Chain A
Amino acid sequence: MKKLLLLTALLTMAVLGGCGSDGTGESSGDNSSMESVKDSTEANSGEPVYGGSVVVGIQQDIDSLDPHKATAAGTKEILFNIFEGLVKPDKNGDLMKAIASDYTVSEDGLVYTFTLREGVKFHNGNVVTAEDVKYSLERASGLLDGTPLISSLSVLTSVDIIDDKTVQVTVGSANTELIYSFMAAIIPAGSGEDENGTPIGTGPFSFVSYTPQVGIVVKKNADYWQKGLPYLDEVNFKIVNSPDTALLEIQGGSIDIYPYLTDSQANELKDSFQILSAPSVNVQALFLNNADPVLSDVRIRQAICYALDKDMVNDFVAGGNATLISSAMLPTLQTYYVDLNDTYGTGANIEKAKELMTEAGYPDGFDLEITVPSNYEFHMQTAEVVAEQLKAAGINAVINPVEWNTWLEECYTNRNYQSTICAITSDMTPGYLMNRFQTDSKKNFINFASAEYDETYLKAAAAMDSAEKAEYYKQLQKILNDEAGSAFIQVPPITIAMNPKLAGYVFYPVYVQDMSTVYFVEN
């Protein structure tokens, strides 16, 4: 009898051991991408070998095979391999000329003239012509049927063919950052109405197949205009069911490259895999709804900023690998970035927080609801740490986890929340994150309202000289920081596990999984 009890007890413990989760899931779609130039050839040097097939684990299914309609960052990362625009991002965060071999912008900034590169071919073998460029730009900007598919291109007023090598684009208002929008994919004329609908681009890889919930396969474009690239014959972007099983799949050998590792997963894999890390292009913050009765007082918002211990958040949630920030600008955009971390300090200053709260009329603290999208483990963990820190200052923080679509509708669209922890994603332009905080911006989900900010933003957008522009952007960051629009925390790292036989992975400052530079190493 006793032996039986012991056996039962042991087995029960084994069973209960399975009933908890280690909280390793980070099912991100937002939390990827890379900032600086971290060339992984340092990790693995050897002669590149042409050929081979690689499996890349992706966490979200793609939302569209149409490069003009795809909005999810995860989809755009992959489509980067199939489609290209007149210009495209290079690994340094600058724009390189792609389908356009050259371009000029008129004095007044209203006319862009692009010269087409010789001999660039689509995956169907046809050479790219001015007609294709005109079609693609008109389609993306809404000139074709009235519906702009890429909002930043809606300022285009006309696209004209000057000759078979030259296309001229006229815009309604000047903006030095508009050139980035010409990364929009150039597709064959008429392909948007083609029944066949196979995605055809000019990129280093061509589309082979897509199976919902399984993944997307691409193969080498032998006629790619950049000679010598790509190395690999085939890439299979395979959807990984859940972050918890991803580890098993990597260890089991069915995935070669897996971006978006969590800290604990990286620790598990570091002995058998290459682990590469770089800052992402996301800005995480405890966003404060400025329209909320309590939070509308700037002193309360500043108090929250003082109460946060960002160093602790970084250590606990990001393994110390994140970059702390205090405003909405990526530190890697060095020309425009100003370090404001000293304003509220990176540690907690409870006295100052309490002083401000008393001044504002809340000497005994107040209630704060923090809504968090529950599918993002990273934000959920941050919320737990932050809630404790706020409690130490007398703020009664309560976490409210909601499902992603609910978060999108309630918090982001309807702005029906008090505070929330999430990340906003930047693209390559300094204005992208900053334009969100204009009073009337549709994306101003924190209800930030500062006349000074609005005026300065217009000046920044209009400035043609880059030094002048940089000055204005720095002023904008200061205003956002002084007014404590939100409690900005950190730029999370992106961590990648890669098969030791591979090399050449390059981090980009935008959402991109560039497979053209990856190769197998000769042993």
Chain B
Amino acid sequence: MKYFIKKLITLIMTLFLVSVAAFLAFQIIPGDVVTSILGTEATPEREEQLREELGLNKPPVVRYFNWAGGVLRGDPGRSYRYSKNMNEMMPVAELIGDKLPVTLWLAAVALVLIILVSVPLGVLWARSASRSGRAAHFLDAALGVVTQTTMAIPSFFLGILVTYLFGILFKLFTPGGYISYQENFAGFLGYLLFPALSIALPKIAMTARFLRNSMLTELKSDYVRTAYSKGCTRRRVMYGHVLRNALMPVVTFLGMIIAEIVAGSIVIEQVFGLPGIGRLLISSINTRDFPVVEILILYITFVVIFVYFLVDILYRVIDPRISEK
């Protein structure tokens, strides 16, 4: 119990510090939001009116606490930039609420792809690495090269490659033809497959590598020798004992990956035109849309901390050797 409370306090403290840091950053960076919104044709009266509307004439400390107070009451305010209609700006909650499912589903599909492919791949690789013979060695080395290369390709380029290959050449999807989850859920998932693939490929390579190394390390352990000498088949040793133990560090690794994807795959969202929070973050920073940026930063911080927390718990569940101290 004490453990959970400590973690909760840490979470709150971190969120607070991060929000203050983001707020301060906005005060420092050049670029005035009113000039940015009104451009070069603004009248002085309109500028003043907008400043009042956005509350920019108040001192920074007041503005921060007004905002923080609003968030605690469940009202994160309105965007400075995005209109809801002719007379109202879009509430931040609604803006993010629309975009979040896109990023979350993207993360989910990517995660499924990663797990489905990297585990068998990692095991296959470990097997070939532990065997002897030319064929096995070749496979081991080849997989090494392929994974290394995949990891090295910049994600932007990978996205374009996938778009070109599957979109233009094989015509499996229409580049830029994002289908909203509200319109057609099956089509939505179908379109997400390709950006998810672009995200998943390098991570599959990394995870497979990690798993392979982890398994090879395990294979050297004493209990493996014992198992063989007891008469266990190779298969039983691999899947029954080694894999289970080798999966543990992979779980941590996957946790890191989940946190990264759910926090918003900015580059891939740009390439595939997905209206997710990654793109929203970039455009909000560019347009100095402070309320949106703050909430997004808090979201990312929360997600990262929360996922690591879950991984921590999972760890304890999987490995009884780790106990609370």
Contacts and interface: CB of A to CB of B under 8 A. Distances in A.
Interface of A: 4, 7-8, 11-12, 14-15, 17-19, 61-66, 69, 71-72, 142, 146-149, 151, 154, 191-199, 210-214, 238, 240-242, 244-245, 248-249, 251-255, 403-406, 408-410, 412-413, 442-443
B27 interface: no
B95 to A, nearest CB: 6
Contact of B36 (A4, A253, A408): A408
Contacts of A61: 81-82, 283
Given A242-B271, A249-B175, A254-B174, 12 more contacts: A19-B157, A149-B46, A197-B86, A198-B86, A211-B98, A212-B98, A240-B176, A249-B177, A251-B168, A252-B176, A408-B32, A409-B35
A7 B144 CA distance: 12
A19 B30 contact: no
A234 B287 CA distance: 30
A442 B161 CA distance: 48
A244 B38 CA distance: 27
A252 B149 contact: no
A242 B49 CA distance: 33
B49 to A, nearest CB: 5
Contacts of A213: 99, 275, 279-280, 283
Nearest to B44: A442
Counting contact residues on chain B (CB < 8 A from A), the size range is: 35 or more
A150 to B, nearest CB: 8
B35 A252 contact: no
Contacts of B44: 442
B225 to A, nearest CB: 32
Nearest to A210: B83
Contact of A199 (B46, B79, B85): B85
Contacts of B82: 61, 212
Contact of B176 (A193, A196, A212, A254): A254
Interface in B21-73: 30-32, 35-46, 48-49
Contacts of A251: 168, 175
Interface in B197-230: none
A64 B40 contact: no
Given A15-B152, A15-B153, A253-B174, A72 B275 contact: no
B154 interface: yes
Which secondary structure dominates where chain B touches chain A? helix
A146 B45 contact: yes
Nearest to B138: A4
Nearest to B33: A405
Contact of B81 (A7, A63, A409): A63
Closest 10 CB pairs of A and B: A18-B157, A405-B31, A249-B176, A197-B85, A252-B175, A197-B87, A212-B82, A248-B175, A254-B176, A151-B43
A441 B168 CA distance: 52
B41 A71 contact: yes
Interface in B267-293: 270-273, 275, 279-280, 283, 286-288
* Residue with the greatest number of chain B CB neighbours at <10 A, chosen from A142, A191, A251, A405: A405
A209 to B, nearest CB: 10
A252 B279 contact: no
Contacts of A14: 149
A18 B156 contact: yes
Contacts of A72: 39
A7 B271 contact: no
A248 B90 contact: no
B271 A212 contact: no
B119 to A, nearest CB: 24
B164 interface: yes
Interface in B125-166: 141-142, 145-146, 149, 152-154, 156-158, 160-161, 163-164
Contacts of A244: 160
29 contacts: A8-B145, A11-B145, A18-B158, A19-B154, A19-B157, A61-B283, A62-B83, A64-B86, A65-B83, A65-B85, A71-B41, A148-B45, A149-B46, A196-B85, A211-B275, A213-B279, A240-B176, A245-B175, A245-B176, A245-B272, A248-B176, A249-B177, A251-B168, A252-B176, A254-B175, A403-B31, A408-B32, A409-B31, A413-B35
B314 to A, nearest CB: 34
A4 B145 contact: yes
Contact of B177 (A11, A214, A252, A442): A252
B255 interface: no
A16 to B, nearest CB: 9
B7 interface: no
Contacts of A198: 85-86
A146 B146 CA distance: 67
Given A71-B38, A248-B164, A197 B174 contact: no
Nearest to A406: B30
A154 B163 contact: no
Given A192-B86, A252-B168, A408-B40, A242 B154 contact: no
A59 to B, nearest CB: 12
